Amino acid sequence: MLDQFLWGGSIAAHQCEGGWQEGGKGPAIMDFVTKGSKETARTITSEQLPELSYPSHQGIDFFHRYQEDIALFKEMGFTALRLSVDWSRIYPNGDDEQPNQEGLDFYEAVIDALLENNIEPIVTLYHFELPIHLVHQYGSWANRRVIDFYLRYCETVMKAWNGKVRYWVTFNEMNHIDPENEHSDIFTYMIAGLKYSELKNPKQQLAEIGYNMTLASVKAVRLAHRINANNIVGCVFGLNPIYPYNCDPDNVLQAFLENDRDYYQIDAVCQGAFPKYKLAEFKKIGLEIQVTEEDNEDFKHGTLDFIGLNYYFSSIAEPKNSDISKEASLFGGIQNPYLEQSKWGWAIDAKGIRYVMNYLYRRYGLPIMITENGLGSPDVIEEDGIHDSYRMTYLQKHIEQVRLAIEEDYVECIGYLTWGPIDLVSASTGEMSKRYGFIYVDLDDEGNGTLQRRKKDSFYWYKQVIASNGKNLAID
Ligand code: BG6
């Protein structure tokens, strides 16, 4: 690993801050999503229903406890923390003329605390945090005006923390908006505040949203570079390799095509043009996207400085016209017989991270930052501590593959950040029991607990990994 390799973790505002009505924050899309479970999807409500529980309202109370949490990150030796800014703390309605100073002050205090501890802040500008007003009033990202509001917000924070924050991330996982796929409500909602089942013309709307977010990203990159030429700007994609079911060429092609759908936006933000093949595909199915000359200029000049990779699992493309596809859809995906699965059914595939890193680097030649990786698992508190060997084993195997990608395959990788270095609310299920952290938070799925922080065994292990710059991965 490089000497200045960034080691640390990633968190997102709506999953950890809480304080949803404090500091002048406005309501954002995830404030209307209830707790779900492994079996039951989270419910999206149109108003706040007092009898229901909304995990983002309390989070893990990072809003009040960030100093204690940052001290623990420091103790582990973090050199970077990726955190998101909740747009609705800065512009409570999204289209306000003036920013909310309290929101700016809150994040500046967090950034200062990180810098005092020699932890590089990596700021995600959009991690499922959209002011709800922009959905109700403008129809979310399908409306180009939302791009302007997003850029106003970006400009405000980039100027406010100019020189303090060097690393910016324009979007988290916008690639999950895929016009070719049917989606569950929660996925389109997390990214754009819209339920898939309520979209009048889903393909058209998702294509517009996908295009507009991509355009917003290149514009934000240009803005960041204009404000400070030393800004280093990335965009984060959630990628899992999709393997063919077997070597039947039909299945191999199917897997390739499914994989490929994740890449048109990456092509657009890395290659200097929105891909013609995608516009042609859109046209073929009757979708019209308005591309202006100005857009083309933005694509040309707004390419990324690095690609952020969120990696958790691999999956298998469902073979066409087979009983297997029916069986698989009952269980939410085909199981790979060569891999074990997490308790939430995610296939544990360490080699998959090396595969995607290679694929990305060979296709784009840009530095890669691993922006999320980790195992969601329940933990058991025993009398003498929390012995999370399963988490250490998962991370050990993945870091080893990252090392191989760097040293054997010559992939340029600038950092490795685990997801949820402190337990926080799960994005997909709203549970606390799906824990990723090195630091345990005393809070259960019903929102009960003292919120007290405790170090797990993995806390000491990750500290040793960082201290050895990734060389000592041994688990005692
Ligand atoms: C990533 C998201 O896709 O997956 C995070 O960026 C999320 O916000 C993480 O928390 C893990 O997913 P989950 O559903 O286990 O929280």
Q: Find, among 396, 403, 382, the residue nearest to 454 by Cα.
A: 382
Residues whose CB is less than 8 angstroms from the CB of residue 170 and which lie 6 or more positions away in sequence, other chains included: 125, 126, 154, 216, 217, 220, 221, 233, 234, 235, 269
Asked about 446 being catalytic, the answer comes back as: no
DSSP structure class, residue 321? T
Residue 474 lies in a domain: no
Q: Is the pLDDT of residue 330 over 70?
A: no
Domain total of the chain: 1
**Is the distance from CB of 204 to CB of 276 less than 8 angstroms?**
no
Residue 131 lies in a domain: yes
How many H helices and E strands in the chain? 16, 14
Minimum-distance ligand 1 atom for the alpha carbon of 173: 6
Residue 472 lies in a domain: no
Residues 306-317: pLDDT tens digits?
999 999 999 999
What domain range is 183 assigned to? 6-467
User: Which residue has the least CA distance to atom 15 on ligand 1?
Assistant: 426
Q: Cβ–Cβ contacts within 10 Å for residue 296, how many?
A: 13
- pLDDT for position 329: 45
User: Which residue has the least CA distance to atom 10 on ligand 1?
Assistant: 427
CA 323 to centroid of ligand 1, rounded, Å: 31
Residue 473 lies in a domain: no
* Of 257-261, 332-336, 423-427, the least confident: 332-336
User: Which residue has the least CA distance to atom 12 on ligand 1?
Assistant: 427
CA 426 to centroid of ligand 1, rounded, Å: 6
- pLDDT for position 166: 98
Residue ranges with strand state E in 250-325: 306-310, 315-316
**Which among 128, 426, 432, 433 is the best mutation to test ligand 1's pocket, defined by most ligand atoms within 8 Å of the CB?**
426
Residue 250 sits in a domain of what CATH number? 3.20.20.80
Q: Is the pLDDT of residue 111 over 50?
A: yes
Q: Which residue has the tokens 């999206």?
A: 44
Q: Which residues pair with 385 in a beta bridge?
A: 382
Distances (CA, A) of 304 to 221, 327, 362: 7, 41, 15
pLDDT band, residue 285 (cuts 50/70/90): confident
pTM over 0.95: yes
Residues 124-162: pLDDT tens digits?
999 999 999 999 999 999 999 999 999 999 999 999 999
pLDDT band, residue 323 (cuts 50/70/90): low
Residue 338 lies in a domain: yes
Q: Is the pLDDT of residue 331 over 60?
A: no
Q: Is the pLDDT of residue 354 over 70?
A: yes
Residue 271 lies in a domain: yes
Asked about 318 being catalytic, the answer comes back as: no
Instruction: Identify the residues whose C-beta falls under 6 Å from ligand 1.
Output: 12, 15, 172-173, 238, 310, 372, 376, 419, 426-429, 434
User: Which residue has the least CA distance to atom 8 on ligand 1?
Assistant: 427
Tell me what percent of the residues of the chain surpass a pLDDT of 70: 97
Residue 448 lies in a domain: yes
Residue 476 lies in a domain: no
